Each structure stands twice: as C-alpha cells, then as structure tokens.
Amino acid sequence: MVYLTRLEHFNAAHKLFNPAWSREKNEDVFGKCANDNWHGHNYELYVTVKGEPNPDTGFLFDVKRLSAIIKEHVTEQLDHKNLNLDVEFMKDKMCSTENLAIAIWQQLLPHIPPEITLHAVKLYETPRIYVEYFGL
C-alpha cells in the first residue's frame, strides 16, 4: 500500500464567533479572531489517499484527477470566499480550522473512487498552525 498526497491552496476570510455568546465573551475566548469585520488566511490543504498502484500505470491514482476532485468539491467552494457567510457546507458551524478540516473530509469522501481510500486531510491556517483529520 502506498500513500499519495496532493497540496492545494485557497484564500478566505472568516471569524471565530459563537452567536450564543455576548460580544465580551467572544472577545474573551477568541481574542482578535473574533474581529467583527473578519480577517483571513492563505490556507494550504494536503489531501492523502492510499491503496495499491495500478500495474498498467504505476499510479495509485492520477494526481490530476485527485486535484480536480479537490478543486470541484472543496477549494472552488472556499477560495476567495467568506467561510462563515458564503460556504454552504460550513453553515451553522463554528469556523475553526478543526471544523473546516472535518468538513473538507466530509466533502471529499463521497467523491473518492472505490479503488482508493481517503486517508488524511491536513490543513494549514498559517505556516505555524495546522490540523489533521483521519476520519476516525
């Protein structure tokens, strides 16, 4: 079994804000991430799939097709968007990197072909902070 990883990017705005809480409590918990007028990031997304290479191609999976699946179901829906306002699959969720990584997994899973298995989603919010989700 081999593991194949593809890196994709998106740039987005968001804020961390729990509407059940007062502004004071939000600022207390989320600090400047609760800024009412949003902030944003260059997100870097690593998607890993695993399985057996195909003997005819030597490929586990055509990385161009993997890239196309990630773009269609994830990054084109997130790039140059407001994660809290514009993204159907983040509606009614706290917009943390943790929840975003889990939602990206759920977006990808139905579109991964049967010959491979989705193994990991790794999402950098900044070069110094990242979250990984393995579906478990």
| Cβ closest to a second copy, residue 10 vs residue 73 | 10
| Chosen residue from 19, 22, 24, 32 binding a second copy by CB under 8 A | 32
d(C-alpha 75, C-alpha 104), whole Å: 9
d(C-alpha 41, C-alpha 38), whole Å: 11
Is 92 a binder of a second copy (CB under 8 A)?
Answer: no
| Cβ closest to a second copy, residue 92 vs residue 114 | 92
Do the Cβ atoms of 29 and 21 come closer than 8 Å?
A: yes
Our answer to whether residue 80 is catalytic in this structure is: yes
Is 81 a binder of a second copy (CB under 8 A)?
Answer: yes
Beta strands in 15-116 (DSSP E): 39-51, 81-82
Our answer to whether residue 73 is catalytic in this structure is: no
Question: Count of alpha carbons within 13 Å of 134, Cβ hemisphere only?
Answer: 2
| Cβ closest to a second copy, residue 73 vs residue 84 | 84
Least spacing, CB of residue 23 vs a second copy, in Å: 15
